[in-house]
Amino acid sequence: MPTISTFFGIAIRMFFSDHPPPHFHAIYQHYRAVIAIESGAIIGGSLPAAVHRLVRDWAARHRAELMDNWQRARARRALQRVPGADVE
């Protein structure tokens, strides 16, 4: 499962043979969650609320890149790195 981004101790990963809907995996300490690309909602697992907000906001800013990586993964093509979160 390639890591496509890291920020604030959070790793963002995608599987090559994952199932719809389009999503990514967020790992933070001992927490793991599956996040829908379209909405940023947790569709499996859990994250602390503050971490989920960071991931959801990051995903909203990088939705096009995440969808491109989703399509790449489905076609078994190399995934692209996505910039981490900026401190605002």
pLDDT digit string (tens) for 41-66? 999 999 999 999 999 999 999 999 99
Task: Give residue 18's pLDDT.
Answer: 87
CA 42 to chain centre: 10
Pairing of strands 31-36, 42-45: antiparallel
- Chain-wide mean pLDDT for the chain? 94
pTM of the shown model: 0.92
Mind listing the pLDDT tens digit for each residue in 22-33? 999 999 999 999
Model confidence at 1, in pLDDT bands (50, 70, 90)? confident
Q: Where are the domains of the chain?
A: 3-74
Sheet holding 23-28, edge to edge: 3-7, 10-13, 23-28, 31-36, 42-45
